[in-house]
Amino acid sequence: MFSYRHAFHCGNHADVLKHTALLAVLNYMTEKAVGITVLDSHAGAGLYRLDGQYARTSQESDEGVLRLLQAQQNKEVQFAPVLENYLNLLKTGNPPDAPVLNYPGSPLLVQSQLRPMDRLKAFELHPTDGRLLAGTVRRLGCGRQVEVVRDNGFSCITKFFPPPTRRGLLVCDPSYEMKTDYAQVLDLVAEGLLKFATGTYFVWYPIIARADAHDLPKRLRTMANRAGKNWLDMGLTIKGATPTRQYQAPEFAEKPEDAKRVGGLPGSGVFVINPPYTLKDQMKPALEQMVALLGQDKNAMFKLESN
Ligand SMILES: C[S@@+](CC[C@H](N)C(=O)[O-])C[C@H]1O[C@@H](n2cnc3c(N)ncnc32)[C@H](O)[C@@H]1O
């Protein structure tokens, strides 16, 4: 347990998909003049350096956000508004006209969108990443608006449902390092829907050759359908996974030189229950551009399905 460090993966294609969609959801939810509560069950360290030792070991951001930023700088593409919004937000966390090297994880991205009446509770269990996140939040001077809880997001979070304003978002982004994560995600969302049926549920999942990974979005669909909720399932695959070259996260590689060679994640998805009605149309052109710019072989594709 606890081998996973998001610093190896920051700014990869999965972050591009997840953070673009998350920002679009937040933009919608902060349009109404009622406060929202965001619960981030697996927050990570919060702030990463794309030129840091971990990120350079895997070089995943080269084939993710850095490729998009390069295309933006070269004016190769007119980006879809949600993608443009995400790339522009990254620039605000870096000195003007300097390369984007500071990369915000989900809690910082959420924090950047909060209005005075909104709240964020971010859960992170890894001792080092929890300490890093708490330090970053303290330095930002967020006061009581952002609370870092260095505890188990799966078991602690549902006691905060429903939030006082009855408007809220659960961001659930585990590493799936433990096989039990898949079942815990389903339990968390099921309990959430019981206690807070109108909440928005945002779940990231890997697209890998594993039965429980494959089943997770299907089970979330069934759960949402049974609860009579709208859902949106979006996915981005950048390359095919071959059986002989299965995904292995770089931090699990035995030797540092294996870290890049072992492959990297072929794809990932985000499943949203009670999504903004605008999200599907906003994400379609963004996903087309992600495939065009980040796709690595003929297997590159996106999915965008809803009920
Ligand atoms: C994929 S990363 C999160 C990345 C982050 N959401 C982002 O988008 O920037 C998953 C994180 O969950 C943490 N974690 C694993 N199990 C946890 C648990 N039960 N409760 C809270 N955090 C956990 C890991 O230490 C890791 O930092």
Q: What digits encode the pLDDT tens for the residues 232-256?
A: 999 999 999 754 444 445 555 544 4
What is the band of 306 on the pLDDT scale with cuts at 50, 70, 90?
Answer: very high
At 78 the pLDDT is 95
CA distance 26 to 101: 23
State residue 68's pLDDT score.
97
pLDDT class of 186 with cuts at 50, 70, 90 = very high
Mean per-residue pLDDT of the chain: 92
Q: What is the 3-state secondary structure (H, E, C) of 92-152?
A: HCCCCCCCCCEEECHHHHHHHHCCCCCEEEEECCCHHHHHHHHHHHHHHCCHHHEEEECCC
Instruction: Report percent pLDDT > 70 for the chain.
Output: 93
Per-residue pLDDT tens digits for 22-59: 999 999 999 999 999 999 999 999 999 999 999 998 89
Model confidence at 87: pLDDT above 80 = yes
Q: Which residues line ligand 1 (CB under 6 A)?
A: 4, 6, 18, 42-44, 105-106, 123-126, 129, 152-154, 173-175
Confidence check: pLDDT of 82 > 90? yes
pLDDT tens, position by position, 284-300? 999 999 999 999 999 99
Collapsed DSSP state (helix, strand, coil) of residue 60:
helix
Specify the pLDDT at position 244.
41
Q: Is 230 helix (H, G, I), strand (E, B) or coil?
A: coil
pLDDT, greater one: 5 or 233: 233
Confidence check: pLDDT of 263 > 70: no
Name the helix (H) or strand (E) containing 285.
helix 279-294
Going 73 to 91 to 204 to 58, the CA torsion angle's sign is positive
Mutate to test the pocket of ligand 1, among 175, 180, 265 (most ligand atoms within 8 A of CB): 175
Superfamily of domain 6-306: Vaccinia Virus protein VP39 (3.40.50.150)
- Which tokens is 143 given? 């006061």
> Which of 125, 151, 152, 169 has the most ligand 1 atoms within 8 A of CB, as the residue to mutate?
125
Question: pTM of the full predicted structure?
Answer: 0.95
